[in-house]
Amino acid sequence: MHILGIESTCDETSCAIVVDGKKILSNVINSQIDIQAPYGGVVPELASRHHIEVISKVVHDALEQADCTLDDIDVIAVAKGPGLIGALLVGIHYAQGLSWSKNIPLIGVNHIEAHLYSALMSIEDSEVQFPSLGVVLSGGHTSLVRIDDYGVYTLLGQTQDDAIGEAFDKVAKMLGQPYPGGPHIERLAKEGNPNSYAFRCGQMKNAPLDFSFSGIKTSVLYKLFGNDLSKTLKDISDGEIQNAAASFQHAAFSDIVQKIDRALTTFDCQALYFGGGVTQNRYLRDLVAGKFSLPCHFPPKELCLDNAAMIAGLGYYAYKANPIDEMLSITAKTRFPFVGNTSPTA
Ligand code: KG4
Ligand code: ZN
């Protein structure tokens, strides 16, 4: 089954053609980083406008690279949320147009569920192990999810405030680094001492698997700029910045690793599957490898950040489980409970 996937939840416009959920024929990604970077973050209106400008070409290029035409496409899968509402609408309306004009069934896919799927995508079905723990670490989400099958999830923990990627971006901005800040924190941290500052992440008494990263961000601010915030970046040495980056990165990832460890005590977990842009981080991968003896699967680099291959891939399983055409019923949502059951037996 050839699935054409479309992703436009934030600042990447992407289209991919994937066969039977796993074989990627093309995965074209148009990133807006250069457009958004001068603003230090994503400006939603700019994101929507850029999606409109490039989406036709991105879809055209994806079909061409896959050596396909729309006549070869069996199903269209589009990210329906969570994401920026205007950005989502561009992808959804474009997908509806394609679906209507070529009479191809359209299915909506949850973006976070697709991040969870991205590590499963490069593994043969016979080697995928359930129940497993899914860990989404992205710019917008931080979630621990028990996965019992494709589409069968239980949310175990999530962030109560900032997402992990958002915290990296905000701390990087504080340290005078460009957007997106995650890779810059990782680079600075390589030169710093992770034990220089004892930063701590928030703990929720009644929700021990939930996360909180807003406090640690403020601790970095006061530690570097003084309690009265009287210092400016000019007063802070490169060494202090590197040490702050290393200590923040170490504290944030240690908290995640510790909560994964705790989540593993709640069921007979067979494997760990990671997803989301933050999972590109090498320090995180090394911490995880040093801590857990279970199989730990990370997506390949090109599937870590937002991309349509993961949307098309998951769309295959979602359509197989529930072959309905959502062309007229699909709606964009900024927030989405992605926990649920879309298995054939549901
Ligand atoms: O998954 P993604 O594209 O975002 C959402 O869907 O929300 O991930 C983007 C996030 C950004 O916050 C970015 O700073 C972070 O991933 N990121 C990293 C690294 N590379 C990207 N964070 C830490 N270390 C990295 N190497
Ligand atoms: Zn994402």
DSSP state letters, 150-206: TTEEEEEEEBSSS-HHHHHHHHHHHTTPPSS-HHHHHHHHTTS-TTSS-------TT
Left, alpha or beta for 40 (phi > 0: left; psi -120 to 50: alpha)? Answer: left
The predicted pLDDT at position 343 comes to 43
**Best of 173, 175, 305, 306 for a ligand 1 pocket test (most atoms within 8 Å of beta carbon):** 305
What burial class does residue 259 get, using C-beta atoms within 10 Å of its C-beta: 0-12 exposed, 13-18 middle, 19+ buried?
buried
Q: Tokens 């036709």 identify what position?
A: 56
What burial class does residue 313 get, using C-beta atoms within 10 Å of its C-beta: 0-12 exposed, 13-18 middle, 19+ buried?
buried
Residues within 5 Å of ion ligand 2 by Cβ?
Answer: 138, 306
The predicted pLDDT at position 199 comes to 96
The predicted pLDDT at position 344 comes to 37
The residue type found at 233 is L
Report CA(276)–ligand 1 centroid distance (Å): 7
Cis amide linkage into residue 82, ω under 30° from 0:
yes
For the CA of 249, the closest atom of ligand 1 is 23
- Do the beta carbons of residue 84 and residue 9 sit within 8 Å? yes
Facing residues of 135 across strands?
144, 274
Question: In the structure encoding, which two tokens stand for residue 209, read together?
Answer: 């698997």
pTM value? 0.92
Cis amide linkage into residue 178, ω under 30° from 0:
no
pLDDT in tens, 116-143: 999 999 898 889 999 999 999 999 999 9
pLDDT in tens, 249-261: 999 999 999 999 9
Residue nearest to atom 5 of ligand 1 (CA): 139
Indicate if ligand 1 lies below 6 Å from the C-beta of 183.
yes
Question: In the structure encoding, which two tokens stand for residue 63, read together?
Answer: 């079909």
For the CA of 112, the closest atom of ligand 1 is 6
Indicate if ligand 1 lies below 6 Å from the C-beta of 186.
yes
Taking only the tens of pLDDT, the chain with its 346 residues reads 999 999 999 999 999 999 999 999 999 999 999 999 899 889 999 999 999 999 999 999 999 999 999 999 999 999 999 999 999 999 999 999 999 999 999 999 999 999 999 999 989 888 999 999 999 999 999 999 999 998 899 999 999 999 999 999 999 999 999 999 999 999 999 999 999 999 999 999 899 999 999 999 999 999 999 999 999 999 999 999 999 999 999 999 999 999 999 999 999 999 999 999 999 999 999 999 999 999 999 999 999 999 999 999 999 999 999 999 998 899 888 887 655 555 433 3
Q: Helix, strand, coil shares of the chain as percentages rounded to 5?
A: 45, 20, 35
Distance from C-alpha of 328 to C-alpha of 268, rounded to nearest angstrom: 41
**Best of 111, 115, 138 for a ligand 1 pocket test (most atoms within 8 Å of beta carbon):** 138
